């Protein structure tokens, strides 16, 4: 009788064969989202995996892309590298990359976590997602949730945090010891990744110039940006050219920006331009896996070489799942240096509404789903 409740759950398989989830059965617009109570309950297949009871999740632009089928070629290859399963293995597919919740069950080799621990994670896009009552993750993707945040707040950070971390730290080479006084430019600063990146480099002592639309400038100032530039108020290129040159540029926007933004970097000083807008997944969809990777390699190589001659570094960054990086992010959050920026919280039944909100663009921070509260 005195056993913790999850043991009881474990003893009654009938109660655990299915769970509520938002899934898609094909790619498309918002009408492909379907609520079901019969999603297969996740099982631990590898000894390093854990099952998390989802308390909150959040949406990222990649969820829109995945709903529409962008990157399906690459992701299916990652889901089933040996082509062992029949053609349509990915459906029903659960979207959602961010989770904050509680560990329910641990694989045999998981020593770091135990049932009942409050954790957060970003689940990589080739795995079943978090818009579900439970989700399975590898132990190395999971980290203890920051103590100072609620689950709803915490769920807003892992995916954007790890994306910014990958761009700024792993690819860009910035850290808390070398950032002091560096001039950093962030293009697309008011989205999820942008709001995180501004706070991160600010915490490390950089001078930050944030580019966003005018109505986000109060937010940017609050997050510590030293200079805020409204991309709608006249020619952005001209506005930025009047400023001193930068040591580091993070580009969340892509497109034609790349053509002139590299000229804003200090030359021959190790200055770096990192873009998160890469044709990687789309090339694989269009050209097939091998040619897509080749094409992607050729593109990045030619751009890198071209810019090296100008004395600046050009790099691509991607989201990478990482528990250890989330540990470092949690430390920054708990010490008050980074705060979640939440635009709107939706209840679990309102997931399609949340997608529409995300699709509308111009969010100030994140769209979060409160999965657990039964509204």
Annotated domain spans of the chain? 18-157+340-370, 172-316
How much is the average pLDDT of 316-323?
94
pLDDT at 10: 46
Fold of 172-316: Rossmann fold (3.40.50)
> Cα dist. 43→6, 35, 94, 297, 322 in Å?
15, 20, 15, 37, 21
Provide the pLDDT confidence category of residue 25 given band limits of 50, 70 and 90. Answer: very high
Tens of pLDDT along 328-344?
999 999 999 999 999 99
CATH number of 18-157+340-370: 3.90.180.10
How much is the average pLDDT of 148-160?
98
Provide the pLDDT confidence category of residue 374 given band limits of 50, 70 and 90. Answer: low
352 three-state secondary structure: helix
pLDDT at 197: 98
pLDDT at 1: 53
Residues contacting 344, CB < 8 A, separation 6+: 354, 357, 363, 367, 368
How far apart are alpha carbons 58 and 254 in whole angstroms?
23
Tens of pLDDT along 263-294?
999 999 999 999 999 877 777 777 777 787 77
> Cα dist. 373→94, 353, 369 in Å?
19, 17, 10
pLDDT at 302: 85
Hey, do 18-157+340-370 and 172-316 end up sharing a CATH topology, with the first three levels equal?
Answer: no
**Model pTM?**
0.92
pLDDT at 307: 87
How much is the average pLDDT of 110-129?
97
């Amino acid at each position: 009788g005195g056993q913790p409740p999850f043991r009881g759950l474990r003893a009654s398989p009938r109660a655990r064969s299915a769970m509520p989830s938002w899934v898609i059965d094909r790619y498309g617009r918002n009408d492909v989202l379907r609520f079901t109570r019969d999603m297969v309950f996740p099982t631990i297949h590898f000894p390093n995996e854990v099952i998390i009871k989802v308390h909150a999740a959040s949406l990222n632009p990649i969820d829109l892309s995945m709903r529409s089928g962008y990157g399906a070629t690459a992701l299916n290859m990652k889901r089933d590298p040996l082509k062992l399963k029949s053609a349509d293995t990915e459906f029903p597919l659960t979207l959602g990359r961010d989770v904050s919740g509680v560990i329910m069950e641990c694989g045999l080799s998981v020593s770091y976590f135990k049932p009942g621990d409050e954790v957060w994670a970003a689940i990589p896009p080739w795995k079943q997602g978090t818009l579900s009552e439970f989700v399975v993750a590898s132990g190395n993707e999971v980290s203890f949730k920051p103590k100072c945040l609620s689950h709803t707040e915490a769920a807003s950070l892992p995916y954007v945090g790890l994306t910014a971390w990958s761009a700024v730290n792993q690819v860009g080479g910035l850290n808390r010891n070398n950032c002091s006084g560096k001039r950093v430019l962030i293009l697309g600063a008011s989205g999820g990744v942008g709001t995180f990146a501004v706070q991160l480099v600010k915490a490390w002592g950089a001078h930050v110039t944030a580019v966003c639309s005018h109505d986000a400038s109060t937010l940017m100032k609050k997050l510590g940006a030293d200079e805020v530039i409204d991309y709608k108020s006249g020619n952005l290129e001209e506005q930025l050219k009047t400023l001193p040159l930068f040591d580091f540029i993070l580009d969340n926007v892509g497109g034609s920006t790349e053509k002139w933004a590299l000229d804003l970097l200090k030359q021959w000083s190790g200055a770096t331009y990192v873009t998160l807008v890469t044709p990687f997944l789309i090339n694989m969809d269009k050209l097939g896996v091998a040619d897509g990777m080749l094409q992607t390699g050729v593109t990045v190589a030619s751009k890198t070489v071209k810019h090296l001659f100008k004395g600046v570094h050009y790099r691509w960054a991607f989201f990478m799942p990482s528990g250890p990086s989330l540990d470092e992010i949690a430390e920054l959050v708990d010490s008050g240096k980074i705060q979640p920026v939440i635009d709107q919280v939706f209840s679990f039944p309102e997931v399609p509404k949340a997608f529409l909100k995300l699709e509308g663009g111009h969010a100030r921070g994140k769209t979060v789903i409160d999965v657990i509260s039964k509204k």
